[in-house]
Structure 1
Amino acid sequence: MRTIGEWTRLNARRNPAREAFVGIDGRVTFGEAAERAWALARGLTGLGVSRGDPVGVLGGNTVFNAEVFLGVAVSGGIYTAYNWRWSAMELAEGIRESQPRILVVEDRFSDLLSTALSIVASDDTTTALPRVISQGELDHFRTGEGTFPDVVGAEDSLCLIYTGGSTGTSKAVVLSHRAATANALNEYIDVGIGALPEERGLMVTPLFHSAGLLTWLVTHFVAGKTTVLVDKFDEGQFVEWVGRERATNSFMIPNMMRRLLQAGAFQAPEVQESFRALHTGAGLLRMPNKVEFVETLPQAKLFYRYGLSEAGPMVTRLLHEDMLDPTVDGSIGQEYHLVEATLLSVDGDGREVEPGELGEICVKGPSLMSGYFRRPLATAETIVDGWLHTGDLATRDERGFYFFKDRLKEMIKSGGENVYCAEIEQVLYLHPAVLEAAVVGVSNDEWGEEVRAVVSLRPEMRASANELQEFLRQSLAGYKIPKEFVFMDAGELPRSGAGKLVKARLKDRLGWR
């Protein structure tokens, strides 16, 4: 498989004048992006960066950050994407773990970085501090002319992506050039990302997240199509960017989609004119939202997908033609072309479960991670006999459609019964007043754990705890009904850098143990 450097060279030949990246800080063609990537790679090599060396990057959804990614990839370094939403303490931990020789920072994040580096210096005298290159200084390190020599192989490490850490400590996932290309091919073949002749993909997912970097930016880059980088998501800016840049598609979590539907953004004339596909995942999407989108934007396709950073990231997809099929409502779809997935027994006996039986999603394929960075034991626990154990529970029907049930670590044990949070959340999303829902288990002396729920309601709509309990009883057994409901505004809910709700932090905030 080609490396990112080889894709850079190919697109410079094929599409030199086509825009590669557009953002708040300018526009760059594929020809310009290649020249700047080669120049930066030469500069990084001159600073001592060699194959396999992490290069830390603290930046947003900008052309600057996209260019740094290409330059680091061409040089053989590992693009190490730090989450700018981290606290200084969290950033310090990320720097300690990755130990970059060089750290590139956008100017607006300089204060955060300075605080983090001071923590590293005071707490750990064994970690060498990186050389920091600010946004304004970077051009001084670009050097030389002509293409950069091939020093990178497909199996070499491309990037470190930190997991969300919603069920434990965030770990750095190592993904190779081969994995990135395989994922891009999956996206192109299965859901058509990059296939439209004049495609311009609107990117609202952060570059430090695997969905943003690999599913969106790399896939469009490999296909020779434009990525429009949106630095901050809100309903008005979505309409503005789509209209100004004639964006044709985007990926976002279901909560973002619901916000746009609520605001009427998909009804805007400029969106109706150019927008042709919405890709969503990393959350629950049920029939009412799907029907509303299709009716609002009938000329656009809707796709749902499931994945995780360790898988590179995509595993399964629900195609547009299956989206409104009631028999697969709530399904995460079937696996991608270059992915082999199965469900293995949670008993640990390695048995593949029968249709309808609960099992753990396990994955093989060329897009899998190389491992967790400098964590061989964690890698060995996660990849067993070539299978990536996702920690996610699902069932599968006779046609091969997967139905996500819950995280293995989030399953609630109540009175000897297994309760799956996602199952309850999926029913809650069918209530017309519910905008967002999170179901969690809380310790209970009598039952082991009891079920509780946090709900955000749609603006100007009302629903009581009793009403939601009665609504759930129409579809679920009594032991699955939350004993307590807390109502919060959607903006109050704690989220990860990718915008996903973090249940551990939510429980801490509410004092639930």
Structure 2
Amino acid sequence: MPFYKFLDRGASFDPQAVCLQQGTAQWTYAQVQQASYLLADKLRSLGLGPGHHASVLSKNDANAFMCLFGINRAGLAWVPANPRLNQQDNQYLLDQFDCQVLLFHSAFESMVRQLVKTTPKLKHLVCIDRALEGIVSLQEWTANASPSTESYASQPDTLVMLAPTGGTTGKSKGVMLTERNLLAYQAGFMVSLAYDQAERPVNLAAAPLTHAAGLCTFPVIARGGKVVVLESPEPASMLAALASSGATETFLPPTAIYRLLSHPDLAKYDYSQLKYFVYAAAPMSVEKLKQAIAAFGPCMTQVFGQTEAPMICTFLSPKEHMQGSALAPDQTLSSCGRPTPLVDISIQDELGQQLPHGQQGEICVKGDLVMAGYYKQPELTAQTIIDGWLHTGDVGYIDADGRVHICDRKKDMIISGGYNIYPQEIEQLIWAHPAVEDCAVIGVADEDWGEAVKAVVELKANARVTAEELMALCKHELGSLKTPKSVDFVDSLPRSVNGKVLKKDVRALYA
């Protein structure tokens, strides 16, 4: 199912209901539909449709987000450009993914003027919010378009999204997501994050709409709900908006949640209307998760996925975070939940054999959620999808209750003195220290051990702890083998646009 149909379904409940809101500006379902009709007609008039690609480069912006439905209604694949990448990286993305159309916010004018010089495939530049010298505005571009309700003929294997991977291990790859993939995502999300048919959810979209936060809005729109757009999850504005917007759900990566938890305004607001506070994209500290439940109530919701199998491979519901009125055991809180109904998950060894519950191996995923492949990279696709199983690169196990646990990325595993050490176990302990905001544990070259464990730590504002104290804590709890041989403190860890700590960048500092 193309995702413009999610918009049309939401509009069927009440075309005059508010679909998008940013600040004091609001757009009804009828207005968002109209904007999508005009953009789709303009694209079709240029001979563009299925097989062509269009990109949107913008900060979180309601007008930019509306463009996605017009792109999809015309049958083009949406390529999410990353507003936090530099010019060279966005040039690589637009060129490698064969983008013909770029819709952009005027804040990126300087970058776009350079991009067009080095990206000859770009044929159409349109500024979303205003006209620029030599560049037409979206309003002007679609002025003569027809508000036709015509849409492209839906086909399950039509490419609807060409999603760049997070780039945590190198250049972004183009993940081909089809109608079938997004329908499986939509179904899994709506089954897991349940609402009554009469409920109209409110999603607070503060994380980048180019990534998971954008996908989270589709189920809300299909239910006739409202999406409130924030430019960023800046803690003070995020906390205020969680209360004032009437949000029933939101999504943030753990790093952003940590910053909310340490903000002085945390206890200032009432968050009781929150039904689902979704955290994903990176492992979360169990101790900080407990703090989040105390602060926001029993609404914390864990999901696990990848760009290659978006977001909803597993689900740990708010109720599963609790055991009656008490917190669930750490073993439950450290999991990412059980497989969702439309997904199969297998733990496999290096030979592709399924391992029994309790044994560690690579987490593999099968089902309609799994991508069609990597764009123009058939060899890499064949290495990643084997016999229908997506090899995620995550090491984990399934416990006796059927919950999936992620130990670490295969590429992040440290081999010290012949022993396999998973950084996340050490990170969980360091995260629990009251002075620590975030941390990354990596392996660094060592003449004796091959690799030695190093912790790179970001402290909370005005908090203090010494390297010796952290190493003593690790030695007491984990033993000498897993204790960092050194601890460095940094002002800020390098992160991707969706909040993941970029361990490749951390490792590069010590290469």
| Shorter-chain TM-score tier | over 0.9
- Change in CA separation of 1:275 and 1:52 when aligned onto 2, cut-off 3 Å: same
Say if 1:251 and 1:278, in contact at 8 Å, map to a contact too. Answer: yes
Matches within 5 A, 1:342-361: 342-345=346-349, 347=350, 349-361=351-363
Say if 1:13 and 1:31, in contact at 8 Å, map to a contact too. Answer: no
SS at match of 1:432: coil
Describe the superposition over 1:111-169 as per-residue Cα deviations: whole angstroms up to 9, x where unpaired.
1122233344xxxxxx4333211123112333113312442323211111111111222
CA distance in 2, matches of 1:134, 1:317: 39
Q: Per-residue deviation at 1:83?
A: 0.3
Residue 415 of structure 2 is aligned to residue 443 of structure 1:
no
Which residue, 140, 161, 164 being the options, matches 1:162? 164
Q: Per-residue deviation at 1:487?
A: 0.8
Q: Per-residue deviation at 1:240?
A: 3.3
- Change in CA separation of 1:206 and 1:195 when aligned onto 2, cut-off 3 Å: farther
In structure 2, the residue matched to 1:75 is 74
CA distance in 1, matches of 2:14, 2:174: 34
- Change in CA separation of 1:384 and 1:443 when aligned onto 2, cut-off 3 Å: same
- Change in CA separation of 1:424 and 1:507 when aligned onto 2, cut-off 3 Å: same
Describe the superposition over 1:168-221 as per-residue Cα deviations: whole angstroms up to 9, x where unpaired.
221111111221122122112113379782421101121221x1222x121212
Say if 2:286 and 2:428, in contact at 8 Å, map to a contact too. Answer: no
Describe the superposition over 1:305-331 as per-residue Cα deviations: whole angstroms up to 9, x where unpaired.
211110023211222222232132311
Q: Per-residue deviation at 1:288?
A: 2.5
**Identity of counterpart residues, as a percentage?**
27
Say if 1:89 and 1:119, in contact at 8 Å, map to a contact too. Answer: no
Describe the superposition over 1:92-121 as per-residue Cα deviations: whole angstroms up to 9, x where unpaired.
11111012121111111111122233344x
Say if 2:200 and 2:224, in contact at 8 Å, map to a contact too. Answer: no
Residue 219 of structure 2 is aligned to residue 219 of structure 1:
yes
- Bigger CA drift: 26-35 or 285-294? 285-294
In structure 2, the residue matched to 1:87 is 86
**Which amino acid in structure 2 is aligned with residue 133 of structure 1?**
V
- Change in CA separation of 1:233 and 1:196 when aligned onto 2, cut-off 3 Å: farther
Matches within 5 A, 1:361-376: 361-376=363-378
SS at match of 1:312: strand
Q: How many residues align?
A: 496
Residue 338 of structure 2 is aligned to residue 331 of structure 1:
no
- Change in CA separation of 1:79 and 1:24 when aligned onto 2, cut-off 3 Å: farther
Say if 2:9 and 2:223, in contact at 8 Å, map to a contact too. Answer: no
Q: Per-residue deviation at 1:24?
A: 4.5
SS at match of 2:283: coil
In structure 2, the residue matched to 1:241 is 241
In structure 1, the residue matched to 2:476 is 474
Matches within 5 A, 1:267-282: 267-269=267-269, 271-272=270-271, 274-282=273-281
Say if 1:280 and 1:304, in contact at 8 Å, map to a contact too. Answer: yes
Say if 1:184 and 1:222, in contact at 8 Å, map to a contact too. Answer: no
Matches within 5 A, 1:195-210: 197-209=199-211
Residue 408 of structure 2 is aligned to residue 406 of structure 1:
yes
In structure 1, the residue matched to 2:133 is none
Describe the superposition over 1:209-258 as per-residue Cα deviations: whole angstroms up to 9, x where unpaired.
1x1222x1212122221111111221111133234422222110112112
Residue 157 of structure 2 is aligned to residue 134 of structure 1:
no
SS at match of 2:228: strand
Q: Per-residue deviation at 1:277?
A: 2.7
Q: Per-residue deviation at 1:507?
A: 2.6
**Which amino acid in structure 1 is aligned with residue 328 of structure 2?**
D
Matches within 5 A, 1:7-46: 7-24=6-23, 26-46=25-45
For the aligned residue pairs, the C-alpha RMSD in angstroms reads 1.9
CA distance in 2, matches of 1:158, 1:175: 6
CA distance in 2, matches of 1:94, 1:193: 37
**Which amino acid in structure 2 is aligned with residue 416 of structure 1?**
G
- Change in CA separation of 1:249 and 1:10 when aligned onto 2, cut-off 3 Å: closer
- Bigger CA drift: 72-81 or 221-230? 221-230
In structure 1, the residue matched to 2:101 is 102
Residue 182 of structure 2 is aligned to residue 189 of structure 1:
no
Say if 2:102 and 2:122, in contact at 8 Å, map to a contact too. Answer: no
- Bigger CA drift: 241-250 or 106-115? 241-250
SS at match of 1:8: helix
SS at match of 2:89: helix
CA distance in 2, matches of 1:451, 1:287: 21
CA distance in 2, matches of 1:194, 1:340: 27
Say if 1:406 and 1:421, in contact at 8 Å, map to a contact too. Answer: yes
In structure 1, the residue matched to 2:324 is none
Query: Which contiguous aligned blocks of 4+ residues in structure 1 show a shift greater than 6 angstroms?
Result: 193-196
In structure 2, the residue matched to 1:63 is 62
CA distance in 1, matches of 2:198, 2:206: 19
SS at match of 1:469: helix
Q: Per-residue deviation at 1:264?
A: 4.2
Describe the superposition over 1:471-490 as per-residue Cα deviations: whole angstroms up to 9, x where unpaired.
1123313221111101112x
**Which amino acid in structure 2 is aligned with residue 212 of structure 1?**
A
Gapped runs of 5+ residues in structure 2?
131-136, 322-326
Say if 2:303 and 2:311, in contact at 8 Å, map to a contact too. Answer: no
Gapped runs of 5+ residues in structure 1?
121-126
Q: Per-residue deviation at 1:291?
A: 2.6
SS at match of 1:182: helix
In structure 2, the residue matched to 1:123 is none
CA distance in 1, matches of 2:343, 2:199: 26
**Which amino acid in structure 1 is aligned with residue 4 of structure 2?**
G
Q: Per-residue deviation at 1:425?
A: 0.8
Say if 1:194 and 1:219, in contact at 8 Å, map to a contact too. Answer: no
SS at match of 2:220: helix
Describe the superposition over 1:386-405 as per-residue Cα deviations: whole angstroms up to 9, x where unpaired.
11110000011111111111
Describe the superposition over 1:363-414 as per-residue Cα deviations: whole angstroms up to 9, x where unpaired.
0111221111111111111111111110000011111111111111111111
Structure with the larger helix share: 1
- Change in CA separation of 1:195 and 1:263 when aligned onto 2, cut-off 3 Å: farther
- Change in CA separation of 1:153 and 1:140 when aligned onto 2, cut-off 3 Å: farther
- Change in CA separation of 1:415 and 1:242 when aligned onto 2, cut-off 3 Å: same
Residue 311 of structure 2 is aligned to residue 313 of structure 1:
yes
In structure 2, the residue matched to 1:114 is 113
CA distance in 1, matches of 2:213, 2:293: 24
**Which amino acid in structure 2 is aligned with residue 225 of structure 1?**
G
Say if 1:8 and 1:34, in contact at 8 Å, map to a contact too. Answer: yes
SS at match of 2:257: helix
